Amino acid sequence: MDPLTQGLLGASLPQSASKKGQLVVAGVLGLLAGMAPDLDILIRSSSDPLLVLEYHRQFTHSLLFIPIGSLICTLVLHPLFAKRRGLTFSQTWFYCTLGYGTHALLDACTSYGTQLFWPLSNTRYAWSTVSVIDPAFTLPILILLSFATLKRNPWYARIAFLWALVYPTLGMIQRDRAEVAGWELAQERRHTPIRLEAKPSFANIFVWKIVYETQGYYYVDAVRVGATVKSYPGESVAKLDVNKDFPWLDPKSQQAKDIERFRHFSNGFIAQDPNDEFRIVDVRYSVVPNQINALWGIKLSPTANKGTHVEFTTHRDNTQESRQQFLGMLTDFD
């Protein structure tokens, strides 16, 4: 989730549990602690571009790390901020724990994948109920916390936290409706998917990207889930076959190992880019949800030496045509 939303949700729970006189300081502690787990993006390497992907949403986002992460926040924030405002160390730790504890669960509501139980499990949990940026989710929390702070009334924060529970629940209902529509599309094509997923498109819970896997292909479609359900059939791409698509690749090379790392990060939804024979893409994400035009991928080089890493590439597809296609789906009320 974006840092602002993480911080606001982190502030809402401590403010909900605080007394009137501690509401502001509780909110600040929760805000900062709620954003702290994303400091894992600082773990990166100039020679290994996939390192940041491996560590983002890993140990700092584990539910088992909450006591440690919140303690680190307390050790930093208590002498700098909380102590001079009359809070004891245990009170600071309490508010930081509440703020820090909201982060991983909110991230798991997105479709990116969060390792909630590391190191016991490397499974990336992605409930796919909320987009990583969604104003309809964030703005009510921001407004309610502003009132809570200005009026020194924790009930506004409690309503904000309640909204943070209600909205992903609505997203879950929408996701399930989108998945049903996806299965119907597959059946119309006489496909029997090995697996099928629905993911919210950018900044809303109405238009969903459907990705399903058959024996040899990935298919992507879009569905708009409102009062009625409308489908937008999309594209397909062959599943990655490393031996066939990259016959020149040494299976013991670092690039071959990086493909498997990227496969794990992408939950297996990877394919050779139709527009670039040396690029492998994550087919789950695109600006226009019924297209293969992937937001990110890795690029291989046939001339690289055995120990060279792949290149991580991004493609935002911020063209006017793409924006119009997406907005057309979002505002299609017929």
In sequence order, what DSSP letters do the residues of 69-94 get, joined into one string? HHHHHHHHHIIIIIGGGT--HHHHHH
CB 69 within 8 A of CB 86: no
Q: If DSSP codes are grouped into helix, strand and coil, which group holds residue 288?
A: coil
DSSP state of 60: G
32 confidence band (pLDDT: 50, 70, 90): very high
Considering Cα of 225, then 295, then 265, then 65, what sign does the dihedral take? negative
Phi-psi region at 86: left, alpha or beta (left = phi > 0; alpha = psi -120 to 50)? left
Average pLDDT for residues 142-151, to the nearest whole number? 97
**What's the pLDDT at 318?**
77
**What's the pLDDT at 332?**
86
25 residue type, one letter: V
β strands within the chain, DSSP E: 195-200, 207-213, 217-225, 229-232, 236-238, 270-272, 279-282, 296-299, 311-314
**What's the pLDDT at 159?**
98
Q: How far is it, in rounded angstroms, from Cα 98 to Cα 93?
A: 9
Question: Which tokens sit at 124?
Answer: 């990336």
**Site of tokens 């926040």:** 73
Summarize pLDDT for 151-178 with one digit per residue, the tens.
999 999 999 999 999 999 999 999 999 9
Average pLDDT for residues 294-306, to the nearest whole number? 96
Q: How far is it, in rounded angstroms, from Cα 60 to Cα 40?
A: 7
Q: What is the pTM of this model?
A: 0.94
Average pLDDT for residues 122-137, to the nearest whole number? 96
**Which runs of consecutive H residues, i.e. helices, occur in 152-253?**
154-188, 242-245
Give the Å distances, CA to CA, from 113 to 25, 261, 320: 32, 14, 29
Strand partners for 208: 200, 223
Residue ranges of domains in the chain = 3-127, 171-234, 237-324
317 confidence band (pLDDT: 50, 70, 90): confident
Residue 314 clears pLDDT 80, i.e. is over it: yes
Q: How far is it, in rounded angstroms, from Cα 49 to Cα 298?
A: 9
Q: How far is it, in rounded angstroms, from Cα 273 to Cα 281?
A: 6
Summarize pLDDT for 209-227 with one digit per residue, the tens.
999 999 999 999 999 999 9
Share of the chain above pLDDT 90, in %: 96
334 confidence band (pLDDT: 50, 70, 90): low
DSSP state of 286: B
Strand partners for 280: 272, 298
Interaxial angle between packed helices 89-108 and 23-35, expressed in degrees from 0 to 180 and rounded to the nearest 10: 50
Summarize pLDDT for 1-13 with one digit per residue, the tens.
999 999 999 999 9
**What's the pLDDT at 300?**
98
